Structure 1
Amino acid sequence: MKRIEVSAAVILQDDKILVTKRIGEEFDGQWEFPGGKVEAGETHEETVIREIKEELSVDIKVNQYFDTITYQYDSFHLTMHLFFCEIKYGELVLNEHSDAKWLMIDELSGLDWVPADIQIVDLLKNSKYLKERKENRILVF
């Protein structure tokens, strides 16, 4: 069975998370967390930085490792390494997706997700990092 290893970004801005819609190939029209395949000699962090630059034309900062999930598709076994990230600079350009949205965590469940990414939505709902981030936010009036 073919094995694929990828790194993906949970890109945060304020209380919202960036999600992207696939275009073409398998899973066309389904939502995912952006990222892609790990290349030889690359760290997982290097992969997610490169992939987001290629897919969305922005430079990101990797803030923290989040989790690693696995998923068994019919034709391959996926291992996905996830990182909490933020955009350092650049304007989003959809080079490999048909749509992108910034959503609150409670809005994520309503989307048609790529099968493996459904696990990520569930993990995010219980994320200690997101809870601490929200609790530590200082409001300026």
Structure 2
Amino acid sequence: MIEVAAAIIENGEGQILIARRRAGKAQAGMWEFPGGKLEPGESPQACLQRELLEEMNLAIAPYAPFAVNAHDYGDTAIRLIAYRATLVAGELQLRDHDDYRWVAPSELSAFSFAPADKPFVALLMKGV
């Protein structure tokens, strides 16, 4: 099972950052909470800081565990570990995605999310 971290990044205006996976990637065209695979010995928080800087040019501060979801995609099983985070600095530049949005939790149902992210969407829409 691959360990992956996802960031629930808040912008201070009640909105959360979501990103669409670009063509050529697994789950292409689907929306997700940005993040990436943990390196050996790396914490989910350190992974998120590294991945968001690499993939989006954003500095974030993960501050609280949100939820964990295990999902089997058939050829790959992942354990997705989500953390709440705040945006610290950076001008967003897409390197691994083809679109992004800042959305209110109530708007999340309008987007087609990757299966592993869907339980997080449900929690956020309930106000968790």
TM-score normalised to the size of structure 2? 0.93
1:133 alignment partner in structure 2: none
1:97 alignment partner in structure 2: 97
SS of equivalent residue, structure 1 residue 83? strand
2:74 is equivalent to residue 74 of structure 1: yes
Where does 1:1-141 land on structure 2 (aligned, <5 Å)?
3-13=1-11, 14-23=13-22, 24-128=24-128
SS of equivalent residue, structure 1 residue 93? coil
Alpha-carbon distance in structure 2 between the residues aligned to 1:27 and 1:77: 13
Q: How far does the alpha carbon of each residue in 1:66-125 deviate from its partner, in whole angstroms, 9 at most, with x for none?
A: 111111211121101101111111111101110000001111011111111111101212
Q: How many positions carry a matched residue from both structures?
A: 126
- Percent pairwise identity: 35
User: What is the one-letter code of the residue matched to 1:99?
Assistant: D
Deviation of 1:127 after TM superposition, in Å, equals 4.2
User: What is the one-letter code of the residue matched to 1:22?
Assistant: R
Moved over 6 A (4+): none
Q: How far does the alpha carbon of each residue in 1:1-23 deviate from its partner, in whole angstroms, 9 at most, with x for none?
A: xx211011000011101000001
Deviation of 1:126 after TM superposition, in Å, equals 3.0
Q: How far does the alpha carbon of each residue in 1:18-71 deviate from its partner, in whole angstroms, 9 at most, with x for none?
A: 000001222111100000000011111111111111111011011211111111
User: What is the one-letter code of the residue matched to 2:4?
Assistant: V
User: What is the one-letter code of the residue matched to 1:123?
Assistant: L
Alpha-carbon distance in structure 2 between the residues aligned to 1:11 and 1:19: 8
SS of equivalent residue, structure 2 residue 88? strand
Q: Which consecutive residues of structure 1, in runs of 5 or more, have no partner in the other structure?
A: 129-141
Are the counterparts in 1 of residues 18 and 32 from structure 2 also a CA contact under 8 Å?
Answer: yes
Q: CA RMSD in A?
A: 1.0
TM-score normalised to the size of structure 1? 0.85
Alpha-carbon distance in structure 1 between the residues aligned to 2:105 and 2:67: 17
Alpha-carbon distance in structure 2 between the residues aligned to 1:60 and 1:7: 13
SS of equivalent residue, structure 2 residue 113? coil
User: What is the one-letter code of the residue matched to 2:75?
Assistant: S
Alpha-carbon distance in structure 2 between the residues aligned to 1:127 and 1:80: 20
Structure with higher Rg: it is 1
